[in-house]
């Protein structure tokens, strides 16, 4: 039979050992209680921190400014089968709704609602699972799932890899488009073997910049349409007629805006050159080759041009982007031009460049007869409005000329972001627009920590052996001290 010694039990509560043990137990319980309360409080706070190296899940300032000033209701339809939503896209579009009460998100199962998808499908628009539809009032824009990522293609393995996210690049301009009362109209000149924005694979990027693209045939049209924000001419293979030349001149003389992208041809296009000379410049026949290895991409004809100071190229320079211009022909300023005309250089080469006149030569070195640089590859021309006759020309005429169009094909525009940015900046400059939506793709490049074998062994010894030994010694020390209390 066990006999309880109440006196000894009572006295044990007064020992130093019980006293310190009680303090430790109370302290441990308090810390656990505080952690539980903090965890519950943090769980109620909706704020999240984007700790990715390039702020992958954060909206850029132009997008935030647009959402802050949004006045119209916008619905973003995300086409995903129920339960199969893309978490990255869902996370991203949700941020638009968080920034503006005018933005609503709705998930639509495209297989259960084929009629809904058909409502937005056109002969030119393919709507796949995972696509987004942005709608406001009676305007909408479809963003295909494949347009929301950037790809790189490995020619050796034949594999494509996703290198960046372009959701914001497509979604923000789409919201701007559907909420705008009027979109600028860009006319593409046709009828002379020109390239088109569709064939170059950049029509969606131009439309994403809020432009509406239409065809222009100056043989059938009486003049350039009045709703034209600008006209673009991409690599014509034959010359324009005298009638078309007059219509283009009339358009420019009345304050029109035109962008010419001219590839080198075997024969001269006399009417085009006549138009350029009336603007104070001319194209010089030949291919520019860059001898400075810092300004070519391993081949003298693949030029990395110098970006001069101008509203068109300054944003490219500020964002540390570069351009690549292959097979360019130079633009020369004429000695005599109208006093109202100003010619500004945009892209130039170094003094180590030269002009290859003999197009049959395969040499990549400077030869006898080649003309020494530097050369101008692109210019911006302004013809000031006549203050004494505002009816004849109510505004300044603006023209951009580039001695190349190849730089815009998909091989270069997709892999060299500066090329596409140049064209969009130039189109914005032509319409006197300064607040451009310069949104960069979210880079998905994975950064790796490269360490040597020796470094790996040292870190393994520290983490596997060193740190456990330190913890063990500290634990033994505490245990021995408490044992002697």
Catalogue the long-range contacts made by 123-131 (C-beta closer than 8 Å, 24 or more residues apart).
Answer: 127/79, 128/79, 129/79, 129/80, 129/81, 130/79, 130/80, 130/86, 130/89, 131/79
Query: Does the pLDDT at position 250 exceed 90?
Result: yes
Binned at pLDDT 50, 70 and 90, residue 391 comes out as: low
CA atoms lying within 13 Å on the CB side of residue 133 = 26
- In this prediction, residue 361 carries a pLDDT of 78
**Mean pLDDT estimate for the chain:** 85
For residue 103, the cross-strand partners are 74
Binned at pLDDT 50, 70 and 90, residue 392 comes out as: low
pTM for the predicted model, two decimal places: 0.69
160, two tokens: 């494509």
What length is written for the chain? 485
Rg of the chain, C-alpha, whole Å: 33
- In this prediction, residue 455 carries a pLDDT of 83
Return the percentage of the chain with pLDDT > 90, whole number. 37
Q: What is the pLDDT of residues 445-475, one digit of tens each?
A: 655 666 778 888 888 889 888 999 999 999 9
Q: How far apart are CA 402 and CA 378, in angstroms?
A: 4
443 burial (CB, 10 Å; 0-12 / 13-18 / 19+) is middle
Average pLDDT estimate for 49-67: 76
Average pLDDT estimate for 268-294: 93
Q: What is the pLDDT of residues 113-137, one digit of tens each?
A: 888 888 888 766 678 888 999 999 8
For residue 143, the cross-strand partners are 132
- In this prediction, residue 411 carries a pLDDT of 77
Q: What contacts 418, CB < 8 A, 6 or more positions away?
A: 316, 321, 322, 323, 324
- In this prediction, residue 1 carries a pLDDT of 52
Q: How far apart are CA 63 and CA 74, in angstroms?
A: 14
Query: Does the pLDDT at position 388 exceed 70?
Result: no
Q: How far apart are CA 90 and CA 212, in angstroms?
A: 28
- In this prediction, residue 386 carries a pLDDT of 72
Binned at pLDDT 50, 70 and 90, residue 202 comes out as: confident
Binned at pLDDT 50, 70 and 90, residue 21 comes out as: confident
Average pLDDT estimate for 247-256: 92
Residue 2 has a CB neighbour count (10 Å cut-off) of 4
- Report the phi/psi class of residue 417: left, alpha or beta, with left for phi > 0 and alpha for psi in -120 to 50: alpha
Answer with the residue of higher pLDDT: 464 or 369. Answer: 464
Average pLDDT estimate for 211-228: 91
- In this prediction, residue 387 carries a pLDDT of 65
- In this prediction, residue 483 carries a pLDDT of 73
Average pLDDT estimate for 282-297: 91
Q: How far apart are CA 163 and CA 50, in angstroms?
A: 19
- In this prediction, residue 124 carries a pLDDT of 62
Strands 397-402 and 257-261: parallel
Q: What is the pLDDT of residues 313-329, one digit of tens each?
A: 988 887 778 899 999 99
Binned at pLDDT 50, 70 and 90, residue 48 comes out as: low
**Is-contact 206 96, C-beta < 8 A?**
no
């Amino acid at each position: 039979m066990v006999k309880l010694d109440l006196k000894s039990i009572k006295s044990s509560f007064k020992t130093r050992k019980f006293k310190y043990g009680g303090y430790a137990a109370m302290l441990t319980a308090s810390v656990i209680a505080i952690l539980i309360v903090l965890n519950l409080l943090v769980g109620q706070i909706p704020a999240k921190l984007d700790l990715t190296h390039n702020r992958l899940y954060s909206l850029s300032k132009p997008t935030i400014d647009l959402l802050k000033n949004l006045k119209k209701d916008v619905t973003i339809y995300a086409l995903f089968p129920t339960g199969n939503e893309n978490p990255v896209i869902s996370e991203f579009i949700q941020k638009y709704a968080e920034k503006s009460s005018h933005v609503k998100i709705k998930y639509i199962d495209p297989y259960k609602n084929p009629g809904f998808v058909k409502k937005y499908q056109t002969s030119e628009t393919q709507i796949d699972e995972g696509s987004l539809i942005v709608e406001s009032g009676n305007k909408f824009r479809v963003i295909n799932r494949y347009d929301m990522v950037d790809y790189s293609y490995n020619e050796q393995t034949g594999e494509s890899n996703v290198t960046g996210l372009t959701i914001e690049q497509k979604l923000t301009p789409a919201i701007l488009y559907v909420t705008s009362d009027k979109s600028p109209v860009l006319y593409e000149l046709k009828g002379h073997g020109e390239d088109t924005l569709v064939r170059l694979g950049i029509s969606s990027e131009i439309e994403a910049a809020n432009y509406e693209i239409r065809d222009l045939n100056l043989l059938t049209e009486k003049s350039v349409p009045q709703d034209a924000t600008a006209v673009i001419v991409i690599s014509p293979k034959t010359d324009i007629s005298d009638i078309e030349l007059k219509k283009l001149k009339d358009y420019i003389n009345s304050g029109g805006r035109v962008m010419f992208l001219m590839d080198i041809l075997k024969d001269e296009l006399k009417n085009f050159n006549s138009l350029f000379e009336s603007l104070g410049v001319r194209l010089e026949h030949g291919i520019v080759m860059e001898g400075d290895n810092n300004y070519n991409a391993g081949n003298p004809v693949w030029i990395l041009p110098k970006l001069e100071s101008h509203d068109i190229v300054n944003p490219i320079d500020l964002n540390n982007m570069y351009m690549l211009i292959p097979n360019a022909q130079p633009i020369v300023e004429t000695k005599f031009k109208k006093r109202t005309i100003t010619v500004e250089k945009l892209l130039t080469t170094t003094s180590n460049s030269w002009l290859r006149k003999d197009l049959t030569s395969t040499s990549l070195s400077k030869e006898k007869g080649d003309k020494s640089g530097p050369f101008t590859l692109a210019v911006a021309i302004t013809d000031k409005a006549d203050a004494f006759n505002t009816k004849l020309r109510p505004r300044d005429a603006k023209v951009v000329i580039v001695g190349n169009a190849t730089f815009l094909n998909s091989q270069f525009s997709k892999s060299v972001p500066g090329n596409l940015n140049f064209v969009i900046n130039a189109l914005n400059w032509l319409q006197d627009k300064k607040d451009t939506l310069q949104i960069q793709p979210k880079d998905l490049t994975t950064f790796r920590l490269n360490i040597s074998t020796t470094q790996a062994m040292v870190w393994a010894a520290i983490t596997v052996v060193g740190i456990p030994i330190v913890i063990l010694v500290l634990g033994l020390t505490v245990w021995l001290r408490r044992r002697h209390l």
